[in-house]
Structure 1
């Protein structure tokens, strides 16, 4: 059976080669866009994430099979239906990603991906093993109800995630006409930025068209360089602290909540109000120094 883990594992040599190339290219640029402690944390988080996903697929596959038994249509797999699966999954990914910034229960997992002050290819590896707990998989179940088999759904999810590795970089500037169709490094730098004007924008997986349609698009501006990380000055290279940072804060808020409404909001309301960090420091972006 094709799985998320197998597809991403097969592509890992390409991922690692690009990380090595990017590090080598920018090794003498100040400020550095790589720190070994940050990259090591990203690698450990990726392994934890893969382990969590492997267990989740085993546990959830019986659920997926039951859901698939209630499918509305018998879909024959061909080029057209595979394209439809890609398009539908990318649409659902947009809403999963947007919800992950607006619902605290989902943000508790997704925050790990945004917690680095750096932006490089290794940042794509910075994932949380708690995604199955927060319910990322629920967003793919409509595809199974429509008639796409769990195997096809998981394969399309994996390909979407694989594409997103390539947008985690400062090495690639704007890509002309492709900027209007696809999620690009420029668009995704905006998504990772903690500048107030960039927060909660550009949720695309592969196609940026969803952000244009639903009003969440903003272009990267030369006058507003991206600064990365989350907005409460969190900085850590400890994979466990990165993974459970927001879960711990959420649990603390739940314990002190005064009533059922407050308890509900502590879990499923918007993430805690974002604190504006000092965005005058431009040390977290690549300098204008010429790179040979």
Structure 2
């Protein structure tokens, strides 16, 4: 969100999309619109933007320092480097995203994004505030070490996340052959499902090819409509509780084990 302030055109497009989706849900699809959930997403998204300034400062400095010791440096003026970097960032995002669903320490941050119980564009900005703590950024350090400029990595990650904003909707159906290569609203709706058949799948960002390669792709089923939200709902619209309750639950479970080994097993185990 902090980048949107410097991208008025993109911000305007997102705002128009949100208003259009609201009209579609209320007047045409008759699906209703969760106003309280939307306000919660806005509040969490605003907090994420504020915390993101600190995170960007810390990680930006770390990535630049790491680039100094990288043995090679690939030119940002070469289109081929951008293409390879795009695929590398997509793979890194897939792996980090998958780890965020399979390691509870990382899930404590990512779970915030899965709390909306209605799939709307505003749910895309309901993002956790504790990315520095959950350490998912470690998955992108190898990209700098192999020679990609940190500015390139951050730019491609920003493109990845802005692209995904438009995936959080029920207003767009299946997109035919595009779904063989690209992540689409249909793919991402399944990712947000709490149904047993839809858990832990469709981790891609812009592309869906790595889900196909690694066997984590699942598609919407007419006989099993997607049910959004957490498998165990938090039952709150309070932004602070949405952000910190998963951490509170994790720490309580870690302390209950009574040992360092048991605590580590909980933190590194599945959610």
Superposition TM-score, scaled by structure 1 size: 0.88
More divergent stretch after superposition (173-182 vs 50-59): 50-59
Q: Give the CA deviation at 1:48.
A: 1.0
* CA distance in 1 between partners of 2:3 and 2:122 (Å): 19
Q: How does 1:178-257 map to 2 (within 5 A)?
A: 178-257=178-257
Q: 2:157 maps to which residue?
A: 157
Measure, in 2, the Cα distance between the counterparts of 1:69 and 1:99: 28
Counterparts of 1:7 and 1:69, CA distance in 2: 29
For 1:72 and 1:192, how far apart are their aligned partners in 2? Answer: 40
> Is 2:2 the counterpart of 1:5?
yes
1:208-246 per-position Cα deviation (integer Å, ceiling 9, x unaligned):
110010010111112211110001132221110000111
Q: Are 1:254 and 1:266, in contact at CA under 8 Å, matched by a contact in 2?
A: yes
Residues 116 and 123, structure 1, Cα contact 8 Å, conserved in 2: yes
Unaligned runs of 5+ in 1: 272-292
> Equivalences for 1:21-170 in 2 at 5 Å?
21-28=20-27, 29-32=29-32, 34-77=33-76, 78-170=78-170
- CA-to-aligned-CA distance 1:18-37 (integer Å, 9 cap, x gap): 011000111144442x2111
Aligned 8 A contact 2:254 2:267 in 1: yes
**C-alpha distance in 2 between matches for 1:202 and 1:44:** 27
Contact 2:25 2:31 in 1 (8 A): no
Q: Return the offset for 1:9.
A: 5.1
4+ aligned runs moved over 3 Å, structure 1: 28-31
Distance 1:134 1:53 in 2: 14
Contact 1:68 1:145 in 2 (8 A): yes
Normalising by structure 2, we get a TM-score of 0.94
- Structure 2: tracts of 5 or more residues without a match: none
Relative contact order, CA 8 A, sep 6+: which one is greater?
A: 1
In the TM superposition, residue 58 of structure 1 has moved relative to its aligned partner by 1.3
Return the structure number with greater helix share. Answer: 2
RMSD: 1.4
